[in-house]
Amino acid sequence: MYEFVYCTPTKVVFGENAESKLGGLLKEYGAKKVLLHYGGGSALKGGLLTRVRWLLEEDGIAFVELGGVKPNPRLSLVEEGVALCKSEGVDFIVAIGGGSVIDSAKAIGMAIGTGCAPWDLYSGGAKPSATLPVGVILTLSASGSEMSNSSVITNDYTQVKKGCTAEVSRPVFAILNPALTFTVPPYATACGCADIAMHTMERYLSGGNSLRVTDAIGEEIVRTVTACAKQLVKNPQDYEARANVMWAGSLSHNGLTGCGGDGGDWATHTLGHELSALYDVAHGAALTALWGAWARYVYRNVLGRFYTFAVQAMGVRPNGSKEEIALKGIEAVEDWFRAIGLPTSIGGLGITLTDEQVRDMAHRCAEHCGGVKGSCVALKEEDMYEIYKAAL
């Protein structure tokens, strides 16, 4: 077990109608003027935004609004948010949405906190050392951003998608009401469940050793999310399934499933970000399109981890050689992706790429991650090219 620091300061307020506690939470954190940040129609359609406005008015908390966050959130809207917060004297941001809205809120908060241009925080040009506090009302279980220390923004001037990891960016509170996710469409629900599983798998299927406690938590998260995702295909309004997926999503990416590990592999996420940036693919679907190709490329190097994962998390019977079981585990993951309606290839996303485009994507991917990525195998540009090609 490697040494680690585990600190998740986000206050979680979980349950039906949890958003009714918003005013009290904002007062607790001393908010004077709030930015309500949200995406497209979903916050409006179910009446959530209207309820939030009423709650703030009742509690006498001033607010301004900025909607329009798109999936794969754009730098240009972050810049708009920074200007708005400065001109309005905003001292607290409430993100109402999924990972894209939360990440956009984190970017705005950090740009104001540090006083630097937002993209400098993502390109490595500035240190994300301070932020405006961010609170979350989660409407989509997926990214884990409601408790995570990271955010991912797409620079829509250059089509580069990059993450920023900073402890200051963990939200101060997260309101988790599973009923708010009833309206998430099947494809987005499936993408979210895949992302949750992947956040654990990126840490589990890595170059680290086996870890009894951490592995058991990760295995249960994967078992839970794979089972509940199938239940949600049949009944999107299954409260218990939504609730378990929501909690699994937060735990999967708040650091818990990596305690004692080697930091995780994260190559699938890195390869996926490039696909999302260039072709505007939903994050979860980008991961499932690439994962099988990545797994088959690297599994021999960390056979023990793939074997244990297959047996403990995917329920593969341990009959056969370690390699056979590991491969059955990879197939079981891909079967699950397909069962919930997700692609297992780039072609499955409806995207056809020429060899030149694949080479370009691999080149950009290597460039944006500093040349090498992954702990199962340290992938270089040529490896990335092979994985993208195998995923076509």
Instruction: Give the closest residue to 146 by CA, choosing from 105, 201, 203, 194.
Output: 105
User: Is residue 181 close enough to count as binding ligand NZQ by CB under 6 A?
Assistant: yes
How many residues lie near ligand NZQ (CB under 6 A)?
Answer: 36
Please tell me the distance from the alpha carbon of residue 135 to that of residue 186, in angstroms, as a whole number: 27
Which residues in the 86-125 window bind ligand NZQ by CB under 6 A?
Answer: 97-101, 103
User: Is residue 215 close enough to count as binding Zn ion by CB under 5 A?
Assistant: no
Return the number of other C-beta atoms located less than 10 Å from residue 65's C-beta.
16
Residue nearest to Zn ion (CB): 195
User: Is residue 178 close enough to count as binding ligand NZQ by CB under 6 A?
Assistant: no
User: Is residue 155 close enough to count as binding ligand NZQ by CB under 6 A?
Assistant: no
State which residue, 146 or 195, has the beta carbon closest to Zn ion: 195
Task: Select the residue interacting with ligand NZQ from 142, 160, 243, 290 (CB under 6 A).
Answer: 142
170 binds, among Zn ion, ligand NZQ, none (CB under 5 to 8 A by kind): none
State which residue, 184 or 369, has the beta carbon closest to ligand NZQ: 184
User: Is residue 264 close enough to count as binding ligand NZQ by CB under 6 A?
Assistant: no
HSE-CB at 86 with a 13 A cutoff on CA atoms is 14
User: Is residue 265 close enough to count as binding Zn ion by CB under 5 A?
Assistant: no
Window contacting ligand NZQ (CB under 6 A); options: 22-30, 67-75, 292-300, 381-389: 67-75
Closest separation in Å from C-beta 269 to Zn ion: 6
Window contacting ligand NZQ (CB under 6 A); options: 58-66, 138-146, 256-264, 318-326: 138-146
User: Is residue 180 close enough to count as binding ligand NZQ by CB under 6 A?
Assistant: yes
Please tell me the distance from the alpha carbon of residue 110 to that of residue 119, in angstroms, as a whole number: 11
How many residues lie near Zn ion (CB under 5 A)?
Answer: 1
Q: What does the block give as tokens for 135?
A: 């609170």
Question: In sequence order, what DSSP letters do the residues of 323-378 get, joined into one string?
Answer: HHHHHHHHHHHHHHHHHTT--SSSGGGT----HHHHHHHHHHHHHHTTT-B-SSS-
In three-state secondary structure terms, 111 is helix
Please tell me the distance from the alpha carbon of residue 150 to that of residue 253, in angstroms, as a whole number: 10
In the chain, % helix, strand, coil (3-state, to 5) comes to: 55, 10, 35
- Considering only CA atoms, give the Rg of the chain: 20
Task: Select the residue interacting with ligand NZQ from 15, 20, 33, 40 (CB under 6 A).
Answer: 40
In three-state secondary structure terms, 253 is coil
For Zn ion, what does the binding mask look like between residues 175 and 214, x meaning CB under 5 A? --------------------x-------------------
HSE-CB at 165 with a 13 A cutoff on CA atoms is 4
Contact footprint for Zn ion (CB under 5 A) = 195
Contact footprint for ligand NZQ (CB under 6 A) = 39-43, 71-73, 97-101, 103, 139-140, 142-145, 148, 150-152, 180-181, 183-184, 188, 191-192, 195, 253, 269, 283-284
